[in-house]
Every structure is written in structure tokens, then in C-alpha cells.
Amino acid sequence: MALKALIFDVDGTLAETEELHRQAFNETFAAHGLDWHWSVEDYRDLLRTTGGKERMARHRETIGAGPSDAGIAALHKAKTARYVALVASGAAPLQPGVADLIARAQAAGLRLAIATTTTRANVAALIRASFGHPMEEIFEVIAAGDEVAKKKPAPDVYLRALDGLSLPPGECLAFEDSRAGLASAQAAGLRVVLTPSAYTAGDDFCTADFLCADLTAAATARIPELP
């Protein structure tokens, strides 16, 4: 089948955002008088659980104390606002090759979509800061984690993106940086280009269809014969 669309994960794939997420979590915890502070190693482990609210719930269960589910939801809302402010300041530049790949894909008439576990507000902030345009002007379909029943590694968010594109998985290509994302995309029937991020480097990605250090090589490949 001819390639017709590219579907991108966001955090760690489009931009190296996870350290900003960790910063936003810790600043939110401190601002609300919660004595939680996640180190880099803490967060690396917590990233195995997809979704910010889910990570906070897991941490609460691990230490045996913390906010209620309603409290976690309120904290996550405040954390999102803090993260959006950090991204808007330009603190999350795009990963190498991403901007060129998207420009070349657009020029070749390929359709673009997002499939992410993060919130739509976070995606909007990153795309606006990175491209200077609303996310809807860059990506035809945005499937976010708070819009599906199950987050990655379940295939739900990729299935939602495919449904929005009205395309079979054989005509699309997914871009991911994590094992959960890889499993999610492959469960939806997609081929996957895997580019490890700072928090996933060293993980086992032997099942990825294509593995590369970054998207520079993909950006210079002949479109639409990518990768």
C-alpha cells in the first residue's frame, strides 16, 4: 500500500518534553504544599505508567499516602497550566529532523496526525510554540489520551487517529519513542519508526520496524517512500 499519512507521538518524539513535565509536576506539588518531589530516576520509573493522573495515583499507592482521586485531578489541571506556560516560553525545542520531516511530508501531500497520551492542551501549546500556528493547521487529526478509554500501550489512541483519517494502518506510519507507544501503535496494525528519547534511551526496541537515533535521516529520505 502507498504511504498516505504519518502519525506522531508527542512527548519524547516531536520534542524532548519529559523533563519539562517533571519540572511542572514538582513545581505544582510544591505550590500546593504536597511533600512530593520526583527525581529523574523516580520519573524514569513512573513513565512506565502512561498518563499524568495515573502516575500520581501510582506514586500515591507506592508510598501509601497522598491526595484523593479528586485531589489528583485538581493537581493535574494545575500541572497542565504550569507545563503549558513552560512550553510557551520556548523551553521545549523540536527533536532533530522533526520540522524538516513535517515540512517535506506536507509538500509531498502526506496527511499528518497526532496520537498521544498527553492532553490536547499540552499538544496545542507545543505546536503553537514550535510552528507558530494552531495545531489544527499542522495536523489534520489529533487523538489525545484524555479522549480514549485506555491509554498506551493499549491501541485506542492510534485506532482513534486511524478512524479520524479514515485510512487503514497499512497506509500510515507511526513515530514513537517509548515501549508503551511502540506496543500501542503495533497493536493498531501500524509500522513504527522508533527514535529513543532521553528517558527511553537504552530500552529494548527490537520489535520496532525502523530504529534510528533521530528523525534527521527520515527527513532527508525520499517522500513518500519514507522511511
Find out whether 191 and 173 touch, Cβ atoms under 8 Å. Answer: yes
Q: Which CATH superfamily is domain 17-89 in?
A: Putative phosphatase; domain 2 (1.10.150.240)
- Predicted confidence (pLDDT) per residue in 127-169, tens digit: 999 999 999 999 999 999 889 999 999 999 999 999 999 999 9
Burial class of 225 by CB neighbour count within 10 A (0 to 12, 13 to 18, 19+): exposed
Q: Which run of H or E residues covers position 166?
A: none
Q: Indicate where the chain has its CATH 1.10.150.240 domain(s).
A: 17-89
Upstream peptide bond of 224 is cis (omega within 30 degrees of 0): yes
| pLDDT surpasses 80 at 226 | no
Percent of the chain with pLDDT over 90: 93
Q: Any catalytic annotation for residue 9?
A: yes
- Predicted confidence (pLDDT) per residue in 43-69, tens digit: 999 999 999 999 999 999 999 999 999
Q: Indicate where the chain has its CATH 3.40.50.1000 domain(s).
A: 5-16+93-221
Find out whether 225 and 3 touch, Cβ atoms under 8 Å. Answer: yes
The residue annotated as part of the active site, out of 11, 35, 45, 209, is: 11
Tell whether domain 5-16+93-221 is in CATH 3.40.50.1000.
yes
Find out whether 123 and 142 touch, Cβ atoms under 8 Å. Answer: yes
The residue annotated as part of the active site, out of 9, 100, 146, 209, is: 9
Burial class of 140 by CB neighbour count within 10 A (0 to 12, 13 to 18, 19+): middle
Residue 227 is predicted with a pLDDT of 67
